[in-house]
Amino acid sequence: MQKSTRLSILIGFIVMSALVTRVFAVDQIKTTETYIGASTGQVSGQTDLPFSLYIGDNISGVATSVKSVFVTVSGVYTGSGSVQAKLDGDTATAQTFALPNVGSTPTPFEVLYKDGTGTIAPATPGTYAYTLNVIPSGVTISALGAKATMTYRYKPPACGGGYPPTGDVTSAIFDTTIGGAYNSIAWKGVLGGPAQNQGKVRFQFASSNDSGGPWNYIGGATCSSGDWYDPGTQSTPIEISCSPQYHNNQRYYRYKVQICSQDCSTSGSYTPTVQDVVVSWAP
């Protein structure tokens, strides 16, 4: 049976408006959503979900650029107790949410964790790595998932400016539990420009039998770190052709998304928007 992992995500400068700002730079506010991770089995003890946040906008020199970060933690639980969330194992960031006693009746829940300590506080553009720790107590959780919503201030491009040639972001770690054959990867969204035909979205893929890696991102016809899978248009799956030699039968996988404002080597005036990424695999 073929399966697919679907990731709903808005990434860095990908989320920018289709039109370049053609005014002098004045601080503006943007909100992005980033998929953190999920667990396919039952969780009754601490679960660590590594994730990355990417900011491609110019936040250098913007005082307190990150205004807020909220993490939505959801799933289905049984039992009576609570769920705690914290960042990077720091007890100072911990927040505990009491869950009603539902006994053995599977019951959906959703809690909103706020980074109230300012742990997530990048001051320059880039990719920043964190770990969300989810700790159930007295309850067993199924279909655990989490996403981050970040609001920050940035300086838009000045008159005549453009977007960087590329912006990269790395996905969370996905656990197939059994390994399998990795078939294809596709994205949903739009390319940039008035006709939605400018820029590129491309991928590299990595796999391992250890959740800690190593993670070697490769792609394209050469299966090298300098090559990429380029699906072209959105909703067009491209074969993960390196799978038979490098990925199949490995339990864990993740991927890297590269957004190109033009041809991936020169700056462009528009940027694609990625809303979903789908990886198809079969056990």
Query: What's the pLDDT tens digit per position in 89-112?
Result: 999 999 999 999 999 999 999 999
DSSP percent split of the chain into helix, strand, coil, nearest 5: 5, 50, 45
Report, as an integer, the average pLDDT of 141-147: 95
Is 80 exceeded by the pLDDT of residue 166?
yes
What is the per-residue pLDDT across 196-213, written as a single tens digit (0 to 9) for each? 899 999 999 999 999 989
Tokens of 64: 């307190």
| Cα separations in angstroms, 281 against 2, 155, 183, 187 | 6, 41, 5, 15
> 3-state class of 13 per DSSP?
helix
Could you give the angle at the alpha carbon of 174 between the alpha carbons of 49 and 201, nearest 5°? 105
| Cα separations in angstroms, 88 against 51, 64, 101 | 11, 21, 29
Query: Which structural domains are found in the chain, ordered by start?
Result: 1-7+161-283 (2.60.120), 27-155 (2.60.120)
What is the per-residue pLDDT across 50-92, written as a single tens digit (0 to 9) for each? 999 988 888 988 888 999 999 999 999 999 999 999 999 999 9
The band of 45, judged by pLDDT with boundaries at 50, 70 and 90, is: very high
Query: Tell me, what's the pLDDT at 146?
Result: 95
What is the per-residue pLDDT across 222-255, written as a single tens digit (0 to 9) for each? 999 999 999 988 999 999 999 999 999 999 999 9
The band of 26, judged by pLDDT with boundaries at 50, 70 and 90, is: low
pTM for the whole structure: 0.57
Q: How many CB atoms lie within 10 A of CB 165?
A: 16
Q: Which residues pair with 175 in a beta bridge?
A: 252
User: Whose CA is closest to 6, among 132, 171, 166?
Assistant: 171
Q: Strand runs (DSSP E) across the chain, as ranges?
A: 3-8, 28-38, 47-55, 66-87, 95-99, 107-114, 126-154, 166-170, 174-175, 181-190, 200-208, 238-239, 252-260, 273-282
Report, as an integer, the average pLDDT of 179-191: 92
Report residue 41: phi and psi, to 5°. Answer: -110, -170
Higher-pLDDT residue of 49 and 283 is 49
